[in-house]
Structure 1
Amino acid sequence: MSRSSEQFPHQATTTSFHRLAYGSNPFQYSELYVPEGPGPHPVVELIHGGFWRKAYDLTLMQGLAQNLVAQGIAAWNIEYRRIGNPGGAWPGTFLDVAAATDYLNKLDSSYHLDIRRVVAVGHSAGGHLACWLACRHLLPSDSEINTSQTPLRLRGVVSQAGVVDLEQAWQLRLSQNVVQELLQGSPSEQPARYAQASPAALLPSGIPQILVHGSVDDIVPVSISRSYAHKASATGDNVQLLELPEADHFILIDPNSEAWQLTVKGIKRLLG
């Protein structure tokens, strides 16, 4: 599932676009957008949301990818198995996101990427997965979702209205109690899965994190990011909460919005 470099349509600057498979499953692929120039280019890994369900895919993040590459930042827009896909939810969703991230180690020389400067950016359920990536080096060695002894170390993480505390999301019954579907049980039924899959349970990550959340978000309440930021700070993590007045859930992934421009400033700070 790969194709050679081609001119990406509707792009203001010269870029190359590649659809690359990181595994053998049809959903184990990513879109790589590479800027003009010799590089090495910093990379933003984009992780889409949709409450981990198969109805939503990486097209949600394509506008952000195009915006980033026009600013000289490579974008790695990943797809993964979701609830409703064979092998999705626990553990496949986590295994795929980890594998897609680590696949960047194989691309640096061919596509002139600087894998020492990778920031993961995720929206909603993708925000959860981005923050989980920052914590996965803390997983127990026998965890079903720990498959790499040397996971790619991120420079930072940006969570856009992320579901960063799975137990809290379960208590709130978000999206018809979707966390129950993701982890195939409640916290009392699957305590180990909640402990290993929820970023809030794995802190401190040791990796800088920026949480962007709208104050009027009625899909993922801002209280989740507030409580996570408090907990992360208490453990010694470098975490910043950007609470945007009057912003809703989806404005955060509108590349023409002020919310996204503020997010890009944060991304550039993390990249250095």
Structure 2
Amino acid sequence: MDEVKHGIVGGYVPERPDWIVPQNWDAYTPEEHGVWKTLFERQIKLVPGRASQHYLNGMNDLPIGPDAIPNFDDLSEALMRRTGWQVVAVPGMVPNDVFFDHLAHRRFPAGQFIRTPRQLDYLQEPDVFHDIFGHVPMMMNPVMADFMQAYGEGGLRAMKLGVLDRMARLYWYTTEFGLIEEGDDIRIFGAGILSSFTETRFALESPSPNRIGFDLRRVMRTHYRIDEFQENYFVLPSLDTLFDLVHTDFAPIYAELAAQDDIQPPAILPEDKVFTRGTGAYHRALSA
């Protein structure tokens, strides 16, 4: 049986142009809260020692726990005090312009549905667990909060210039699947990894993927996987890298990259700073 789709991929017709819907927290069923509890309890055991300290600090300061799906109003109250953000409920994936406009106004659009028990290990759509457990703790950090707002503004400009793929790659390899240096270690801050039971370990511990030092132009030229674990992960030297991106004029970068070829994920360039040269074994096995 096909899984139910949500938001724009499910043909949802919005009542409001901003696609905001009530969270309807009281309507969640015991089974849905139970799915959250299962996901939360197994994932919270994995993140210590693997997640960025920025993420762990944010998690500790938010009303997020194992027993129930968090209430967006409670999250918004904590976020507003710290970074001026709020969480708004949407029915699933929203159009790009709606997504960017929310970010540009310091609103984080979170899907208010949760996956089914059959989807614990993989869900292509972002649900409430991905959005809240994965993203929101980092939004308590002022640098990430400013980066996300700037990204929303930049996304709206990129749409007008027809270069949205460049900005999408930046988001993918930072906010969703980014790694970061902390002391002598590499840690995770990307929500797509932190909300995944299997990729949390794969991203740091598997010998298969490449782990490459973050370079803005390199990232904006590199394709990514939406159907599987990443073949490349990019490692920020610190969160201050995102602070620098907030003040970057992307227009000349778009013009520069227009004359350069895109890069396929497994490739390593001579100028790359390589933390781990992956074996590629995982993805070769998929195509065998």
Q: Same fold (TM over 0.5)?
A: no
> Which structure carries more helix by proportion?
2
Higher relative contact order (CA 8 A, sep 6+): 2
State the TM-score bracket (shorter-chain normalisation).
under 0.3
Query: Normalising to structure 2: TM-score of the pair?
Result: 0.24
TM-score (norm 1): 0.25
Greater percentage in strand: 1
